[in-house]
Amino acid sequence: MDIFSLEGRNAWITGAAYGIGFAIAKAFVKAGARTIIFNTRSQESVDKALEAYAAEGITNVRGYVCDVTDEVAVKALVARIHEEVGQIDILVNNAGIIKRIPMHEMTRSEFQQVIDIDLVGPYIASAAVIPEMMERREGKIINVCSMMSELGRETVSAYAAAKGGLKMLTRNICSEYGEYNIQCNGIGPGYIATPQTAPLREKQADGSRHPFDSFICAKTPAGRWLDPDELAGPAVFLASHASDAVNGHILYVDGGILAYIGKQPK
């Protein structure tokens, strides 16, 4: 079972201050990763995250302030990681935002911000790490996609466009760099209980469940939101040699949402 080990490997997980990225980082450490690198947009967020990692007993972690949309800063960060940590064996493009606004009410700038972080950011980070992976003829890139890589819904037009594009960026990196033994796959979480989805689970003024909360539980065969830690196994699989023959694939970790028409109302 050593093929699932990440022993001695360095993993850069963008935006892994909390939420899904943080859960993936914990899983990689448990699988033997040598160093976890993460970046967020503020020193405050980095410092808070380092405390959270320490609380989990994780000290082989380095946090940096770097906005994934800032190409100059990302290239400088990659050079600094190579200098201070070593090679980047695994890149997880996790950093992402969502804006839930009806498309006709959304400003161009709001639409662009989602595209920049959720699609252009993964391009910038991947383009920055690939040359070194090409030299070593080895590398793993995991793009955090979404149900919205496959489905649409009201108010998330920019996010769905970005995550649909990220699915195809995943397939194109696979196509262009597979000959260098670089595998690029996507992980497609379903509905996960994190700060990003907290607004969809907030109790209503009368104490009742948020309508979207009930809706998602009816669309998920298990009838519940998933936990970020349930992404651990799929993420370790895609980061390890166990997936060396898997490339350009989006591994949906959705509890069966994409297979299910939804629970009939009683």
Which one among 81, 148, 166, 169 touches ligand GCO, defined by CB under 6 A?
A: 148
Q: Could you identify the residue written with the tokens 């972690």?
A: 61
Query: Per-residue b/e over 101-133, b at no fewer than 16 CB within 10 Å?
Result: beeeebeeeebeebbbbbbbbbbbbbebbbebb
Q: DSSP letter at 194? A: S
Please pick, from the candidates 156, 174, 226, 251, the single residue that binds ligand GCO as defined by CB under 6 A. 156
Compose the 62-81 pattern: x for residues touching ligand NAP by CB under 6 A, - for all others: -----xxx------------
Rule CB under 6 A: say whether 98 interacts with ligand GCO. yes
Of 134, 189, 144, 200, residue with least CA distance to 167: 144
Based on the residue annotation, tell me whether 18 is a catalytic residue of this protein: no
Kindly determine how many residues on this chain lie close enough to bind ligand NAP according to the rule CB under 6 A.
Answer: 29
Residue 189 binds ligand GCO (CB under 6 A): yes
* Beta carbons of 175 and 134 less than 8 angstroms apart: no
Choose, from 18, 53, 123, 159, the residue flagged as catalytic: 159
The single-letter code of the amino acid at 85 is V
Does 190 participate in binding ligand GCO (rule CB under 6 A)?
yes
With CB under 5 to 8 Å by kind, the binding choice for 195 among ligand GCO, ligand NAP, none is ligand NAP
Residue of 11, 187, 158, 190 whose CA lies nearest to 85: 11
Do 145 and 187 contact (CB within 8 A), yes or no?
yes
Token code pair at residue 26? 């914990």
**Site residues (CB under 6 A) for ligand NAP, limited to 146-165:** 146
Taking CB under 6 A as the rule, does residue 197 contact ligand GCO?
yes
Supply the minimum distance, in Å, between the C-beta of residue 265 and ligand NAP. Answer: 23
Residues interacting with ligand NAP, by CB under 6 A? 14-15, 17-21, 39-42, 45, 67-69, 94-97, 117, 144, 146, 189, 191-192, 194-197
